Structure 1
Amino acid sequence: MKIRQDQLGQTLSQGLASCYLVSGDDPLLLMEACDEIRAAVKHQGIEERELFHAESGFEWRNLLEEASAMSLFASRRLLELRIPNGKPSDKGSAIKELAENPSPDNVFLIICPRLDAKTQKTAWYKAVEKHGVVLPIWPIDRQQYPGWLKRRLQIAGLQAEPAAVAALAHQTEGNLLAAVQEIEKLRMQGIEMVTEEIVQEATGDSSRFDAFGLADACLLGKLGEANRMLGHLKAEGNEPIMILGAITRKIRQLIMLKNCSGAQQLAEGFKQQFIWPKQQQPYKSALQRLSQKELHRALRTAEATDLAAKGSGDDPWLLLAQLIVILSGQTDNIFTLT
C-alpha cells in the first residue's frame, strides 16, 4: 500500500510490514522517515541490520543469498538496500522476488531518490506496493512550510510568536536542514518564547558556512569561495556525506531543469522542483553555464564521492573538491571531461 509521511507512525503501530520503499529528494525528510522505520524495527527486538549499496556492478544475487541465509546472531534482521539512482540494474527482479516471497526472518527497507512515473509502473515497484508499504516523500510546499516550522519548534520545546515563525520561514526559505539547525541553536539558548527579534539575531549571520551555502557558491561559479567553505566545513569536523547530500540534490534538480525550454517552462520546472523564488538565482546561473554533459559528470563524481565516504578507498574530500570544480564550470583549467 502507498501512504503519506504523516501516516507512517500509525502504520508502524499496527505492526511491521515485510517490505518498505521510501523515496524522495529531501535529505532531512527521507532520513527521518527511515529513522522512524528503523526505530519501530528495533522496538520489535530486531537489532541486526545489513546494509547494501546498489551501485554500479552490484551483485544482486548476493542480496538474494543474504535474504535467504539464517543469521548466526539474531532471529530476525533488517535488510537495508540503498539505490542512489532509483533504477535497479537487474530491472528490479531481485526486489520483486523478495517482495513477493518475503522471509519471516527479515524486514526489507529500500531507499531511493524520488521515482518518476515510469518507474512507478515497473513490476518491482508494483510488487512492493502490493505486498509492502510505499512511502513517497514530498517536499514541504510554501503554504505548508510555516506550519511545519511551528511543529518543529514545538517538538524542540519552544513557543514562538507568529511573527517569529514568519521570520524563520523567510530566512530559511524552504531549506529544512538549515531550519532544523536554526531551531536547535534557539533551543540551546534556553529561550522560552521565541520572538521575531531573536530569530533575526540568530539567523542574521550571512557569513555562516554550511553545505547549502557551499552548494550555492558552486552554482554561482564562485570557485574560490566554494573552496574556502569546503575547507572550513572540513576543519569543523563535518562528515563528507552530509555535505554531499546538499550538493547532489541540486545536481539532480539542475538535470531536470536543463530540459526546460523558455521562461514559462523554466518557471513551471522551478515550481515542480519546489525551488522558491529566493533560491532560483544560483540555479539560473548554473543553467546558463553548465551543459548536460557537465551535469552528468558532476552526478557521476557525486556517486564516486558517496562510495569513497562509505569506504571505497578513495579520498572523499579530494572528490568533493573535484565536484566543486565541475559545478563551478571551470573544469577546462583542471581536467578534461570524458
Structure 2
Amino acid sequence: MPLRLEELAGSLKAQLAPIYFISGDETLLVQEACDAVVAAAQAQGYGERSVLYAEPGFKWHELRSEAASMSLFAERRIIDVRIPGNKVDREGSEVLREYADEPAPDTLLLLRSARLEGRQRSSAWFKALDGAGVVVQVWPIGIGALPRWLDARLRADELVLEPDALDYLAAQVEGNLLAAVQEIAKLKLLQLPQPITVEALTRVMEDAAHYDAFELIDAVLGGDLERVQRMLGVLRQEGVSLFAVLGALVAQLRRLRGGAGGRMPPQRQRLIGGFMRRLGSAAVIDRALAQCALIDAQGKGQLLGDAWLSLENLCLRLAGSRALPSLEAQLPVLHRS
C-alpha cells in the first residue's frame, strides 16, 4: 500500500504491516521514517533487530535464512535491509517476491533504498512489496515548501523566527536538510530572544546550501534569476567541475530541442512549457547551444575569459535576464592572439 511520508506516523499507530519499504534521496527524511517504523515496532513488542546490508555481492538467500531462523531473545523481531543505491538484482527480485507472498510470522521486514526509477517502481518485486506491505517514497522538499517544513521543525523545538529570518534560513540550508536540523539544534542551544530576527540569525550561522547541476537547471527553467546566481556561486565555490555543469545544461537543451517532454510529470511539463514560452522560439536553443560550445572552449583555455562568468551570463539570459550581452557579441575580443 503506498503512503505519503506525512501519512506514515498516523498509520504506525494502528496495526503494523509485515513489510515497510522506504525509498528516497533525502537521507535525513528516509532515516527518520525508518526510525519511526522501528520505534513503533519496538513499542509493540518487536524486541530483536537484525541489520543486513544488500551491497554488491550480497547473497539474498541470507534474507531467507534470517527470516527462517528462530529468535533466541524475542518472540517478535525486525529485519532491517539496507540497499545502497537502488539496485535489486534477479536473485533479490525473486527473494523479495517470495517473501511478499508469505511474510515470516512475528517479523517486520524494513527495507530502505535511494530513490527508485520509474522502471523499478513497475517491477514485479516492487509491486509485490506494495501489495503485501507499506511503500513510502520520500520526495525532496522543494524551495517553495522548505520554509513551511523549517517552521514546523522550529516550532516543535519551541523556536519562532521572524518571516524574513525564516526565508533567510531556507536560502542558507536549501538542498541540505541535515544542515537545517543542525542549525535548528544550534539555535535551540543558543536560547536567542524570540522571535529570532534575521540579524541575529546571520550572526550565528554559516552558509550550508548545497546544490547540484540539475537543481540549477530547474532554476533556469523556472526563471528564478536570484537562485540561479546563488547556485552557480556555490557550485563554483565547492569545486564542482565546470564541464559537469555545462554538460548537464547542454543535455537538457538538446532534449528540449528534440521535443522531449511528453512522458514528464505534469509539474515538470508546466515548468518546461513556461521556459519555452519565455524563449519565444526553439531557434533560441540553437543559439544557446552555440554559446555552450564557446564556454567549453573558454574552460579549456582556447578562448580568453572566465568560463564560469560566461556560464552565469548564459544561465541568467535563459532564465529571463535581458541585461547581459551574449557571448557571440564578445567573440572578437575572446580569441587568443
What TM-score, normalized by structure 2, do the two folds share?
A: 0.64
| Contact 1:49 1:79 survives alignment (8 Å) | yes
| Match runs of 1:242-281 below 5 Å | 267-268=217-218, 277=228, 278-280=230-232
Identity across aligned pairs (percent)?
A: 37
Q: Do the aligned partners of residues 11 and 291 (structure 1) sit closer, same or farther apart at CA in structure 2, a change above 3 Å counting?
A: same
| Contact 1:145 1:174 survives alignment (8 Å) | no
Distance 1:62 1:75 in 2: 20
Q: Which residue of 2 aligns with 1:59?
A: 59
| Match runs of 1:195-274 below 5 Å | 195-203=197-205, 205=206, 267-268=217-218
Amino acid at match of 1:36: A
Q: Do the aligned partners of residues 63 and 270 (structure 1) sit closer, same or farther apart at CA in structure 2, a change above 3 Å counting?
A: farther
| Match runs of 1:156-195 below 5 Å | 156-193=157-194, 194-195=196-197
| Match runs of 1:35-114 below 5 Å | 35-89=35-89, 90-114=91-115
| Contact 2:101 2:128 survives alignment (8 Å) | yes
**3-state DSSP class of the match of 2:46?**
coil
Q: Do the aligned partners of residues 187 and 96 (structure 1) sit closer, same or farther apart at CA in structure 2, a change above 3 Å counting?
A: same
Gaps of 5+ in 1: 207-211, 217-249, 258-264, 293-338
Q: Do the aligned partners of residues 171 and 38 (structure 1) sit closer, same or farther apart at CA in structure 2, a change above 3 Å counting?
A: same
| Contact 1:182 1:202 survives alignment (8 Å) | no
Query: Quick one: which of 288, 310, 313 aligns to 2:243?
Result: 288
**3-state DSSP class of the match of 1:79?**
strand
Larger radius of gyration: 2
Distance 2:82 2:233 in 1: 32
Q: Which residue of 2 aligns with 1:137?
A: 138
Shift of 1:162: 1.4
| Contact 1:159 1:192 survives alignment (8 Å) | no
Q: Do the aligned partners of residues 112 and 287 (structure 1) sit closer, same or farther apart at CA in structure 2, a change above 3 Å counting?
A: farther
Q: Do the aligned partners of residues 289 and 128 (structure 1) sit closer, same or farther apart at CA in structure 2, a change above 3 Å counting?
A: closer
- For residues 281-322 of structure 1, the C-alpha deviation after alignment (integer angstroms, 9 at most, x for no partner) is 565842616999xxxxxxxxxxxxxxxxxxxxxxxxxxxxxx
Q: Do the aligned partners of residues 269 and 85 (structure 1) sit closer, same or farther apart at CA in structure 2, a change above 3 Å counting?
A: farther
Q: Which residue of 1 aligns with 2:148?
A: 147
- For residues 82-101 of structure 1, the C-alpha deviation after alignment (integer angstroms, 9 at most, x for no partner) is 11121212251111111221
Amino acid at match of 1:181: Q
**3-state DSSP class of the match of 1:42?**
helix
Distance 2:109 2:158 in 1: 34
Amino acid at match of 2:69: A
Shift of 1:270: 8.2
Q: Do the aligned partners of residues 290 and 56 (structure 1) sit closer, same or farther apart at CA in structure 2, a change above 3 Å counting?
A: farther
Amino acid at match of 1:80: D
1:123 aligns with 2:78: no
Distance 1:6 1:42 in 2: 21
Shift of 1:197: 1.6
Q: Do the aligned partners of residues 104 and 42 (structure 1) sit closer, same or farther apart at CA in structure 2, a change above 3 Å counting?
A: same
Q: Do the aligned partners of residues 92 and 271 (structure 1) sit closer, same or farther apart at CA in structure 2, a change above 3 Å counting?
A: farther
Shift of 1:174: 3.6
Distance 1:170 1:63 in 2: 43
RMSD between aligned residues: 2.7
Distance 1:287 1:100 in 2: 49
**3-state DSSP class of the match of 1:49?**
strand
